[in-house]
Amino acid sequence: MVEPWDYRYLNSSANRQLESKIPAQSLLGANERFHRDLGADLGKLAVVFDLDPRPDKSPLAYTDFLKRGRVVGSRWQSPVARVVGTYPTGGLYSLNELVHESGHAVHVSAIHTRPAYMDWPDTLFTEAFADVSSWSVYERAWQQRYLGAEVPAATSLRSLFGDVMLDVSWALFELRMLRNPGADPMRSGPTSPAVTCASSRTRKCRGGPCACSSRQSRVHGELRPLVPCSRGDTRAHGRNRSGRSMRAIRGGTDG
């Protein structure tokens, strides 16, 4: 049987082997050189890095607008992105996360539209954009160029896809919670006592599905498919209430 700590140990071999080559103080430099080679000079983009520890700072890394872009007079003022993270130790995982968040910063810096339309992040493309660059740190050629050392491809890929498998597992867990929100281990407290059916009738569950003829219910103004109830209360499909991602559980971010 593989225990959770075994999984983490087995999939972090690349990090252990390269840790001495990636001290914490080298993270930002390697990150900036890589993005500059990609054509995105983080200094010229005025990306702000908030990496120093302080009390009550978010334990999770994330990126967001520090200032949104807009037209002032007749000139466009570009957005300013801020990367927030804390890296008391270096290593491949910390570098991967910093490169990932910097990918978000490049994305934010490239947005050129009216503030009213600056809807960022979305649900899929945002993370894919950042992963395109951050996954490169697991390539042997990348490691040799930016770190001066490398580990076998199989070791690097195991570290990369070990994390990806955790994301896949979390996605499957979220799908299960969407199917049955009542099974969410993070959920506590009473549920909505009644559902207003689409036909404007109100019915309470009696240990089975609510009997709306449209097979839908309106909860807090949202039309949602019905799901079976339990213990005499009312449940309808909704968002995962835990609000956490696997990246957050690993010590990274959704962002």
Q: What is the pLDDT of residues 211-255, one digit of tens each?
A: 443 334 333 334 444 344 333 333 333 333 333 344 443 444 445
Per the CB < 8 A criterion, the answer to whether 26 and 168 are in contact is no
Sheet holding 195-197, edge to edge: 202-203, 195-197, 216-219, 222-225
Contact predicate 82/65, CB 8 Å: yes
Position 183 scores a pLDDT of 84
Please determine, for residue 188, whether its predicted confidence score (pLDDT) is greater than 80. Answer: no
Residue type, 16: R
- Measured between alpha carbons, how far is 210 from 205 in angstroms, rounded to an integer? 5
CATH number of 4-179+243-250: 1.10.1370.40
DSSP letter at 192 equals: P
Strand runs (DSSP E) across the chain, as ranges? 48-50, 62-67, 70-72, 75-77, 80-84, 195-197, 202-203, 216-219, 222-225
Higher-pLDDT residue of 189 and 194 is: 189
Residue, of 141 and 185, whose pLDDT is higher: 141
∠ CA(12), CA(163), CA(91), 5° rounding?
40
At residue 123, the pLDDT reads 67
Lowest-confidence segment of 129-143, 161-175, 190-204 by average pLDDT: 190-204
pLDDT at 16 over 70: yes
Measured in whole angstroms, how far is the alpha carbon of residue 66 from the centre of its chain?
A: 19
State yes or no: pLDDT of 153 exceeds 60. yes
Domain boundaries, given as residue ranges, for the chain: 4-179+243-250, 188-238
Bigger pLDDT: 109 vs 119: 109
The residue among 2 and 222 whose pLDDT is bigger is 2
Closest-CA residue to 159 (of 144, 143, 133, 137): 137
Q: With left for phi above 0 and alpha for psi between -120 and 50, is residue 39 left, alpha or beta?
A: left
